[in-house]
Structure 1
């Protein structure tokens, strides 16, 4: 049965193209998929059909759309470029790039990390878990980059999934955030659930809110922004992105919860131009630690942030 979704355009999102706004609002839906819905008359603005993906949205406009049921299908192997950090008979560790979806979903039936792993890892289809997301025990948002682990056997899947559920993974992120934290270190303890006003988003004390704890450490300060390291004690959907917004320091480049317009910032035009080139939220999973499911050995892997993150960081450093 189709799903009906209604969202309201917030101030930071005003001026975005309709297809861009929906791509950043509807989880796991590609822009091309959403463009087809728009052109097919499945998207309403304030109750009236809009068939132009390029139409700009305005603050407080109500956008409604009808999402069709996903087509059940097993993902197929695809020869996609992925950065494999480590691999053995039990598991594979990758550095996921920004923009890659972890597993197939409506509008993302192909081109996902699962499709790539099915090609690169022999027998991966039998690695355990959901048939549409074999081996996947945790995930990163589409535009969040960084370290992920996937199981290659049912036994490894059981062990890694248990560790993820028990929050025993060591997960460390870095992010570029608006403004500066007063404290050098601290903890954000605020339960998260589905937003009452915008069910496609997460919110503090939302529907069926669950405990969410994020520890932060300020690494560098730039006046208008800061570089922070974050450690997850829990692993809720969009946890870091929502927590930093709740703390008053939204992540740069995040079109849903964060900061995407920098016109009011007192920064040089060249800095503004570089920040506008961020490919989604400036959030990177720099380290992942876990217990090897076969040997029991504690393992840890790290990866450098992608080019757009690094360029933005370098531009902010020049402001000092």
Structure 2
């Protein structure tokens, strides 16, 4: 028998106040999403049930979720899900939490897509959100996602199956191009680690404490992985193919220079919704 007599509305108000006192902005919004996950209900169902008494089981799960959020853990990490490109992706501690800024990279690929493009290579695929979002839009394309983390690839495979894209995707354990030697692709896309090593300790808690370090640390100056990818990419990009990167704040011009030095053409920079130069893209160099 349940001893709890609090309604959903009671709990949401109490949780919002707790989060506000902990310095969390948007406490009610976060509380609602966590309640949806704790109770296994949709947003509409939660609205309809606001005056219903919450079961003790749901109450216990919800209170644990709120405690975690109050300590700075992102809602997406607690819920183990993140919406990206209008799609729902599973996430885990083994993958980078997809952010809205990264949707700019998907936008670039979609806007630059040529009719003859049929294949996409995603380097450092993580949850698979970039590759799968592109394939969701481009129904005739096939994609391969590479990552050095087998645990990350398991999440990508789950997402691929959930989105019914598993028939057009393949995920391989690989250190960048290691397992695709001798093959070429129409599109190469990557959101590699780009935080300078010394800057990681100054990142927000929700990043440095909850995103995998392997997805953040870009070496001493933040450009280690860009150097490796750019110096090798021309061997894997088909004629007139597209290469596109997400980049960190202040890195776009340097990445553009690196692409120009090895002969890439039509180099462009795209800003995100905040006006930050977020993506650099180019077409295959002359052979």
> Which of these two proteins has the greater Rg computed from alpha carbons?
2
Higher strand share: 1
Higher helix share: 2
Q: Normalization by structure 1: what TM-score? A: 0.25
Q: Normalization by structure 2: what TM-score? A: 0.27
